[in-house]
Structure 1
Amino acid sequence: MKAIRWFIIVAVLTALIASLLTGCGSGQNQDTGDKVEITFAGWGSTPEETRLLDQVLADFEQSHPNIKVKREVIADQYMDVIKTRLIGGKGPDVFYLDAIEAPGLIETGALEPLNAYVSPDFDVEDFEKPLIHAFQKDGKIYGFPKGYSTLALFYNKKMLKEAGVEVPKTWDELRAASRKLTKGNKVYGFGQNPELARTFFIAQSAGGQVVKQGRANFTAPQVLNALQPYVDQHLIDKTAAQPSDVGASWTGEMFGQGKAAMVLEGNWSIPFLKNTFPNIDFGTAEVPTIHNKKGTMAFTVGYVMNAASPQKQASWELISYLTGKQGMKTWTSKGFELPTRQSVAKELGYDKDPVLGPLVAGAPYATVWSAGPTLPTIFNNFNNQFVSAYIGERPLKEALQEAQDQANGEIQFQLYD
């Protein structure tokens, strides 16, 4: 179904459903003192994360004895299921929403604006600004981020020491260090991810915009100039490689296997490396600067409220607890996700932690993986063509011109067909 049609359908149905429900406006639910049940949907996670979330929900129910939370796990095709249920008027009261999907869903009118529910003691200013901005539009807040991860430079301490290399602080230093750390085609100095989710901030580091007025802008000179050194490190220097070049499935595995001395990875890599490659001695650092500017990516998921929920006040109580200081402290206490509240990160000591600290430090200046409702179309086409330039099949400009034309053609078709 075309995007604009879906937006219209959901907006109309949301308004109709809301009009049929009593007691749903002005941030109030229709509780009369009796126990109410709200549905809370999300995707599956590891057993450890599931147990932690169960604990947080149990703590919430204990402190809110009049509210029962029915948790639903949507294991496959999460957004398709959520959209279908919203259209059918059977959406959950509260649910997970990835930042990349937030702009599109906000446009439909399916999400409840949360400004009217927020009290001063909730302390909105405590959230890392780039993360909360991902769930805002026109001054309205439609969700609060539950956790995040930035990218940091993961480096093999032994390899750097043996090569006499310092941890690079600039991108030029990273490229020079990669030359010293590369050993033929067995060990590469730098493991790369040639996809837009990992290179978005690099593509914009020279002042260009990857997405401009909702359209792909890959062939802007600043974007091409920013991405060319990334490709050259693979094709010309031969000091960087993607995971498939060395038989790995992702850069975290590539790094753990000792086939890359340095990679840009997220918080999720830490438990993976400790559990799968316990003997590797690694450190983390902030991503090296480009043109003297700090940059990284941030990936976040928020809690949002269904605009047609019949239990809005109870739904807000859940959201405010999960993203409040106590609930967030419990949820992020094991380090699976980082706290989106600065005060919680400090209380848990993550900002001073030698491994987590560089990830936390990147949050204030990070580029959040979210750039309007057309980003899913834009990044699919970028990824499809960028790899052909990365492996040397054709020039970067030619590949990205095709990607840009294809993406913008699809966007035009979605909007006006």
Structure 2
Amino acid sequence: MTSPVRPSARRITALFATIALVLTATGCSGETGSGSATGAVTSITALDYYTDASEHAQWGERLTACGKTAGVTVEQRSVPGASLIPKVLQQASSRTLPDLLMLDNPDLEQIAQTGALTPLDQYGIDSSGLAKGILSAGTYQGKVYGLAPTVSTIALVYNKDMLAEAGVAVPRTWDELETAAAKLTRPGRYGMAVDANATFEGTWQFLPFLWSNGGDEKQLDTPQAAQALQLWVDLVKRGSMSKSVLNWTQADVHDQFVAGKAAMMINGPWRINALNETKNLHWGVAPIPVRQMGQTLVTPLGGETWTVPRGASKARQEKAAQVLACLNDSTNMLALAKQYFTVPSRTAVASRYAEQVPSMAAFVKSVESSRARTGELGVKWPKAATGIYTAIQAALTGGQTPEEALKHAQQIASGS
């Protein structure tokens, strides 16, 4: 899961207006590249934010292989995550979008809203067999614009030795979580660790507690939301969770866990490689606890979707769509999931994967009922996300009660 820094809302609004006017006037966008609108297409361009050398190379191999099946060479271009959306908005405005575009799933709707993307059904791409939340993440106004080969979410990661030593069972409910965290806490070690910082990452980590308890970003100042926030407040107040969670990133949470300074943490499968490489660390993964037995765990969906922007050349769009379909076939899904410790987007493939990679079973299970962050509010989601992490900060510092903090959060979300 990535949370790129987004440009300001005012800037986005202005760019949206410009882009919409340009697209309406011209009826197209895109690079001409190799192969004209009427000639044979021999190469296409792809844009992503895989700037890590290893990741860039690995995705490059996938794109090259899928390009070969489509009969084209794929020129991969990568920019830092924080730069992707500003670059895409600028390219859409100047009609220089790539042929194949990767987007973090919460960003898809705001780009689709500009008219810069094409619906995938026009290419006959198969989107069957996907979990509801995954399909929702690639959909805008009833049309599927993006597909993710694999996805991710978050779960409870725990130190097996510490739990065994304290005689603590893996918690399933909030009461059990509070009890376990208290028993696991001792000098130099906290029972629980989360990322509660003032970014979308903090919101991301809080969502399972909010959503699973019946809270909703459409109305943040509810008893259900307050109960979820009170849980985090209580963990800090009772000393089971460090006050430093207000500043920790997910990477910091991981570091605390592997250093033995936290017995349990909320984190994602992107940490598994590092966990496996840590000597003498015996860890397990379980679903995030819910307030009471019988509630359905709902976690946020992470992962990148691949899209086909509008372009001057229909032939180039068709080739890009063929590459996209290849990336999303079952064989590539499974291979990518094993390579990156992510979850295949097709339910049947994910089930086989969970059997083959047991450490991913809890993540696979959680993805079944996961939810796209933009599923309820669409392009208005960033305001709600800002309200949520603002409320977390206010409540955990003791500046406001959960109820007061969430009332302010709702004001932020509604723009009042």
**Does TM, normalized by the shorter one, top 0.5?**
yes
Give the TM-score normalised by the residue count of structure 1: 0.86
After TM superposition, list the pairs within 5 Å mapping 1:16-35 onto structure 2. Answer: 16-18=25-27, 30=37, 32=39, 34-35=40-41
Identity across the alignment (%): 25
CA contact (8 A) 1:35 1:68 kept: no
1:219 corresponds to 2:221 = yes
CA contact (8 A) 2:92 2:116 kept: yes
Read off the aligned partner of 1:405 and give its amino acid letter: Q
Deviates more, 1:154-163 or 1:226-235: 226-235
1:339 corresponds to 2:340 = no
**In 2 relative to 1, CA 166–103 (structure 1 residues): closer, same or farther, beyond 3 Å?**
same
CA contact (8 A) 1:287 1:294 kept: no
1:288 corresponds to 2:289 = yes
Deviation at 1:5, TM superposition (A): 3.8
Structure 2 residue aligned with 1:50: 56
Deviation at 1:157, TM superposition (A): 0.6
1:6 corresponds to 2:15 = yes
CA contact (8 A) 2:341 2:360 kept: no
Deviation at 1:135, TM superposition (A): 1.4
SS in 2 for 1:190: strand
1:89 corresponds to 2:91 = no
CA contact (8 A) 1:56 1:330 kept: no
**In 2 relative to 1, CA 402–390 (structure 1 residues): closer, same or farther, beyond 3 Å?**
same
CA contact (8 A) 2:194 2:266 kept: yes
After TM superposition, list the pairs within 5 Å mapping 1:361-400 onto structure 2. Answer: 361-370=365-374, 371-400=377-406
Structure 2 residue aligned with 1:118: 124
1:318 corresponds to 2:316 = no
Structure 2 residue aligned with 1:163: 166
After TM superposition, list the pairs within 5 Å mapping 1:213-362 onto structure 2. Answer: 217-235=219-237, 237-241=238-242, 243-244=244-245, 250-275=252-277, 277-291=278-292, 292-295=294-297, 296-308=299-311, 310=313, 311-347=316-352, 349-351=353-355, 353-362=357-366
**Which whole-Å deviations, capped at 9, do the CAs of 1:160-216 have from their partners, x for residues lacking one?**
0100111112222111111111114x2111112222111123123332322x2xxxx
Deviation at 1:319, TM superposition (A): 0.7
SS in 1 for 2:291: coil
Distance in 2 between residues matched to 1:406 and 1:20, nearest whole Å? 35
Distance in 2 between residues matched to 1:245 and 1:383, nearest whole Å? 10
Gaps of 5+ in 2: 1-9, 197-201
Aligned partner of 2:216 among 209, 213, 218: 209
Aligned residues: 390
SS in 2 for 1:125: coil
CA contact (8 A) 1:196 1:382 kept: yes
**In 2 relative to 1, CA 20–135 (structure 1 residues): closer, same or farther, beyond 3 Å?**
closer
SS in 2 for 1:373: helix
CA contact (8 A) 1:92 1:309 kept: no
Aligned Cα RMSD in Å?
Answer: 2.5
Distance in 2 between residues matched to 1:198 and 1:357, nearest whole Å? 19
1:153 corresponds to 2:156 = yes
SS in 2 for 1:263: strand
Deviation at 1:97, TM superposition (A): 1.0
Deviation at 1:141, TM superposition (A): 0.4
Distance in 2 between residues matched to 1:40 and 1:31, nearest whole Å? 21
Distance in 2 between residues matched to 1:246 and 1:105, nearest whole Å? 31
Structure 1 residue aligned with 2:4: none
Distance in 1 between residues matched to 2:144 and 2:351, nearest whole Å? 25
**In 2 relative to 1, CA 257–19 (structure 1 residues): closer, same or farther, beyond 3 Å?**
closer
Distance in 2 between residues matched to 1:106 and 1:46, nearest whole Å? 27
**In 2 relative to 1, CA 87–150 (structure 1 residues): closer, same or farther, beyond 3 Å?**
same
Deviates more, 1:2-11 or 1:278-287: 2-11
Read off the aligned partner of 1:203 and give its amino acid letter: L
Structure 2 residue aligned with 1:71: 76
Distance in 1 between residues matched to 2:57 and 2:108, nearest whole Å? 27
Distance in 1 between residues matched to 2:149 and 2:185, nearest whole Å? 39
CA contact (8 A) 1:192 1:243 kept: no
SS in 1 for 2:44: strand
Distance in 2 between residues matched to 1:241 and 1:294, nearest whole Å? 28
Deviation at 1:302, TM superposition (A): 0.2
Distance in 1 between residues matched to 2:338 and 2:27, nearest whole Å? 38
Read off the aligned partner of 2:134 and give its amino acid letter: L
**In 2 relative to 1, CA 171–12 (structure 1 residues): closer, same or farther, beyond 3 Å?**
same
CA contact (8 A) 1:131 1:300 kept: no
Gaps of 5+ in 1: 24-28, 413-417
Deviation at 1:20, TM superposition (A): 8.4
Give the TM-score normalised by the residue count of structure 2: 0.86
